[in-house]
Structure 1
Amino acid sequence: MEGIVVYLYSVNAFGLRFVIKVILLPNLVTNKSPIKMVLFQALTNLEDPAHPFLGPTLWGLQKWGMWQPNKGMSHIIYNIIHFLAITFVMTQYVELWYIRSDLEMALRNLSVTMLSTVCVVKAGSFIAWQKHWKYIFDYVSMLEKVQRNKRDDTMNKIIKKYTGYSRSVTYFYWCLVTVTVFTVILAPLVIYLSSIKRREEIRHGTAAYPEIMSSWAPFDKTRGVGYWVLVLIHSLICFYGGGIVANYDSNAVVLITFFSGQLEILKSNCERLFGDGLERISYVEAVRRIRDCHNHHVQLIKYTKILNSLLSPVMFLYVIICSFMFCASAVQLTTEGTTSMQQIWIAEYLIALVAQLFLYCWHSNTVLFMSMTVDEGVYASAWWSQSVRVRRCVLLLGGQLNKTIRFTAGPFTELTVATFVAIIKGSYSYFTLLSKK
């Protein structure tokens, strides 16, 4: 039975390739399965013919007000929302000042406040550097269209693989962030219902209602109308922050995956430069093919540098904050008196943080690995069948392809799997230090 074929593809640091072939059978999108048909239609609506690779991510960025290609009233409204979010983060730091003497409450505040800080930095930096993001989006879409129109089976196969993989990562990450947002919002209710002692203390006025987040308010936020107003504000902020994180991160990971896939296409083109060695190729045609591969790599280097310049400052802040958040969450998880439901909430929150950082490090590591192996395509070609003049050009191409592509977190560290492991080790060291009695 025929169906739609999707390839989920990845390359790890050791060069092992994982390809999962998923076949979506026709009955998934027929009237026999209404729920699956609605889901399929919803995902199809996210696609954009003008941006065949970036459709879902650009849709998400635009819905959350980061990608603002059109000026108008919506532009003003989105920027007001971003400003209000920054104001809310400031109230979290004000609250931290008031509760600084209580270690448990301070850690709980910091574990969320730091993430809120990263959210507004991501949104603010994206809007401020909108022009540079547009350069990357236009290049990706233009190159994708040109390559699809060539009707090269090998090239199209690679494009389908990394496109399918990007869609899978995007939708999985969106689901993970959605679950995290609802977990954070519903945590106070679960804490209230799961603790009889806490309910008795609240009833007698010796304890306040549990909060979604820790923030300062110019009114009584512990009871009555003030409490419910704060619950509404916190819920809206959670949805705002979740959308910012989900769309910014998925967009970054998808773009990194694109450049990894393009390096694989470039390697394949280099391998096929001169066919099987028996093909008669003129000097002009050989030089044209070499020049195309050279230009392709130069453009990839150029736009990955632009992407890295946009991501690096944000990731530098995030790597520093992540180290502390991992440690703070671990301390809360092992603190005496923490209920089982609180431990579940903290564990889920910690998993989301680890997944967020791992996505960046893993995919950046993949690009680094591909950039280090792309020059192998030149030496796998039938270069030996060409004249000395052409071989000199091939040698120059090999020198160009020897340049590596690296994504960094500030000027001090690269985003690799080794960096991820180092952050986890460092967080554990901090946790050991703080947990000593």
Structure 2
Amino acid sequence: MGPKFLESLEDPSHLLLGPTLLGLQYWGLWQKDRIKNVIYNIIHILAFIFVISQYLELWLIRQNLELAMRNLSVSMLSTVCVFKAGTFVFWQKSWKELIEYVSNLEKNQLSKNDKTTAKIIDTYTKYSRIVTYCYWCLVTATVFTVILAPLFVFLSSPVYRESISNGTQPYPEIMSSWFPFDRSRGLGYWLSVVCHTLICFYGGGVVASFDSNAVVIMTFFAGQLKLLSMNCSRLFGDGNEVVNYKDAVKRIEECHYHHLYLVKYSTVLNSLLSPVMFLYVIICSLMICASAVQLTTDGTGNMQRIWIAEYLMALIAQLFLYCWHGNEVSYMSYKVDGGLYSSAWWSQNVRIRRSLLLLGGQLRRTITFTAGPFTMLNVATFVTVSVIIMMISTQATATILLLGSKQTDRISNAIQLPICISDSV
């Protein structure tokens, strides 16, 4: 049943992006039908209103550090989800142009029946499927962990159950948000549970489909750069092949335009991702810090620590996924011209060699992905953010231990999370 289900996700029109486009379509980001678009856009607006209610609740509970940190760790992720959904819908035309380029280029390349080309495309397509499905599983596990965490806390703590029964403690919540009714008991509580459950599935679907689609397209660029390098290395065969001037120029032109369009559409992808990733790097860093502080607080129970640890792992995996694949594209972009100089260029005349020099100059134009105007998406950025997170988490934990629970209003001034991260990034 598993392989058949996975096969049903494939799309002959989009050989690489079939599963990710299906996910985008189910969650209302890849819009085709006008009537469904209206329904999906209403859902996106309701999600935006829910995020506002989370920050309103954060303001109301600002004096309670433990509740505020728990709210902050989730509300910022909700902000990123809504921002991703909004930008994808608003920039739908650019996304469609980019996706059509990816699909059409692969179909044209495979139509030539070249074994080397087919092998490279098949390799990065299989890799993309593994990354997509593993990431979907991780997001699904995170969503169910967030939804079921209050139930596990309720079942694992007899003292907490006794406090609920005598009315001294409210029922456990999935998320922290404001409602215009009493959500601590009765019908109001169950309405909040249903609302929080739905918003968790919405956010998980948006994150899974958006991130997997972006990462798969990054993988496409890395694979195409590898294919371009291979094509450059076999421009003139092994040197014994007789290639006339017209055929040689045609091959050089194909490599030139291949790289030219890769640079063009990678710039389009970067323009779509850069604002999202700038917000994502900042907010993800803040979320990881908030989760790490919760993890090291004495008042946090064992079941809560398990939930926070799984949530923290998912946040780090998301950031790593973008930085790793952005680094892969940059690395392949730097070494793509090596294929040209490993070709049998020495077997050609002076006119062809001059054209090769021009092509080499074109291939030196590198492809990079950025998170806003301040940093690039690569492994170095991930390591830098990780070091900052460790330093801030250590400082936050030490501050909590020194000041104690009665002086929590001074912690925000001692930690200075936003200032540290914005200055460092």
1:283-311 deviations in whole A, cap 9, x for unaligned? 11101100100000000000000000000
Question: Does residue 50 of the first structure (1) align with residue 43 of the second (2)?
Answer: no
Question: Does residue 41 of the first structure (1) align with residue 8 of the second (2)?
Answer: no
1:110-168 deviations in whole A, cap 9, x for unaligned? 00000000000000000000000011111001001001111111111000100000001
Aligned to 1:197: 159
Alignment of 1:244-323 (within 5 A): 244-323=206-285
Aligned to 1:84: 46
User: Distance between the aligned counterparts of 1:355 and 1:179, measured in 2?
Assistant: 13
User: Distance between the aligned counterparts of 2:278 and 2:107, measured in 1?
Assistant: 34
Question: Does residue 166 of the first structure (1) align with residue 123 of the second (2)?
Answer: no
Question: Does residue 372 of the first structure (1) align with residue 360 of the second (2)?
Answer: no
User: Distance between the aligned counterparts of 1:81 and 1:69, measured in 2?
Assistant: 16
Aligned to 1:225: 187
Alignment of 1:114-153 (within 5 A): 114-153=76-115
Residue identity matched to 2:239: G
Question: Does residue 403 of the first structure (1) align with residue 365 of the second (2)?
Answer: yes
Paired residue secondary structure (1:166): helix
User: Distance between the aligned counterparts of 1:235 and 1:39, measured in 2?
Assistant: 26
1:13-34 deviations in whole A, cap 9, x for unaligned? xxxxxxxxxxxxxxxxxxxxxx
Residue identity matched to 1:223: R
Shift of 1:432: 2.1
User: Distance between the aligned counterparts of 1:45 and 1:327, measured in 2?
Assistant: 40
Shift of 1:337: 2.2
Aligned to 2:286: 324
Paired residue secondary structure (2:287): helix
What RMSD, in angstroms, separates the aligned Cα atoms of the two structures? 0.6
Shift of 1:52: 1.1
Residue identity matched to 1:108: R
Alignment of 1:199-218 (within 5 A): 199-218=161-180
Shift of 1:212: 0.2
Aligned to 1:7: none
Residue identity matched to 1:220: D
Shift of 1:322: 1.3
Aligned to 2:378: 416
1:49-102 deviations in whole A, cap 9, x for unaligned? 11111100100000000010232x111100000000001000000000000001
User: Distance between the aligned counterparts of 1:172 and 1:434, measured in 2?
Assistant: 33
1:250-285 deviations in whole A, cap 9, x for unaligned? 000000000000000000000000001011111111
Match of 2:37 among 50, 75, 85: 75
Residue identity matched to 2:141: V
Give the TM-score of the pair, scaled to structure 2: 0.93
User: Distance between the aligned counterparts of 2:32 and 2:352, measured in 1?
Assistant: 45
**Identity value in percent:** 64
Give the TM-score of the pair, scaled to structure 1: 0.91
Aligned to 1:35: none
Residue identity matched to 1:430: I
Q: Which runs of no fewer than 5 residues in structure 2 stay unpaired?
A: 403-425
User: Distance between the aligned counterparts of 1:288 and 1:252, measured in 2?
Assistant: 33
User: Distance between the aligned counterparts of 1:54 and 1:355, measured in 2?
Assistant: 21
User: Distance between the aligned counterparts of 1:54 and 1:435, measured in 2?
Assistant: 43
Paired residue secondary structure (1:212): coil
Select between 111-120 and 320-329 the one with higher mean Cα deviation: 320-329
Shift of 1:426: 0.8
Q: Which runs of no fewer than 5 residues in structure 1 stay unpaired?
A: 1-37
Residue identity matched to 1:82: H
Aligned to 2:312: 350
Question: Does residue 361 of the first structure (1) align with residue 323 of the second (2)?
Answer: yes
User: Distance between the aligned counterparts of 1:337 and 1:65, measured in 2?
Assistant: 40
User: Distance between the aligned counterparts of 1:170 and 1:298, measured in 2?
Assistant: 28
Question: Does residue 63 of the first structure (1) align with residue 23 of the second (2)?
Answer: no
Paired residue secondary structure (1:48): coil
Select between 254-263 and 40-49 the one with higher mean Cα deviation: 40-49
Shift of 1:39: 1.4
Shift of 1:428: 1.4
Shift of 1:430: 1.4
Aligned to 2:149: 187
1:171-222 deviations in whole A, cap 9, x for unaligned? 0000000000000000000000001110111111000011000000111100
Match of 1:178 among 125, 133, 140: 140
User: Distance between the aligned counterparts of 1:269 and 1:262, measured in 2?
Assistant: 10
Paired residue secondary structure (1:299): helix
User: Distance between the aligned counterparts of 1:408 and 1:145, measured in 2?
Assistant: 29
User: Distance between the aligned counterparts of 2:21 and 2:394, measured in 1?
Assistant: 42
- The structure whose residues are more often helix, as a share, is 2
